[in-house]
Structure 1
Amino acid sequence: MSARQEVAQKEDHLAAAGFILKPANTPARAAMLTRLPPHRFLRRDKGDMVTYVYADPNVCDCLYVGSQQAYATYRAAQQAQYMADENRMTAEAYEDSSWDWGSWGPWGGGPGYGPGYGPGWWGPGMGW
Structure 2
Amino acid sequence: AVVQEVKKSDAKGTEVWLAAAGFRVQYADTPEKADHLQTMTQRKLTSHQRGDKVYYIYADALSCKCLYIGNEENYQRYQQLMIQERIADEQRMTAEMNMDAAMNWGLWGPFDYGW
Same fold (TM over 0.5): yes
Bigger relative CO (Cα 8 Å, ≥ 6 apart):
2
| More helix, by proportion | 2
Q: In which range does the TM-score fall when normalised by the shorter chain? A: 0.7 to 0.9
The yes-or-no answer on 1:14 pairing with 2:18 is yes
What residue is the counterpart of 1:86 in the other structure? 90
Structure 2: gaps spanning 5 or more residues = 1-7, 107-115
TM-score by length of 2: 0.77
| Aligned: 1:99 with 2:105 | yes
Q: Which runs of 5+ in 1 are unaligned?
A: 101-128
Name the structure 2 match of 1:41: 45
Supply the distance in 2 between the matched residues of 1:47 and 1:61 (Cα, whole angstroms): 27
How many aligned residue pairs are there? Answer: 98
Q: Structure 1 residue 28: deviation in Å?
A: 2.0
**Aligned AA for 1:95?**
M
Alignment of 1:1-128 (within 5 A): 3=9, 6-96=10-100, 97=102, 98-100=104-106
Aligned partner letter, 1:12: V
TM-score (norm 1): 0.70
Percent of paired sites with the same residue? 37
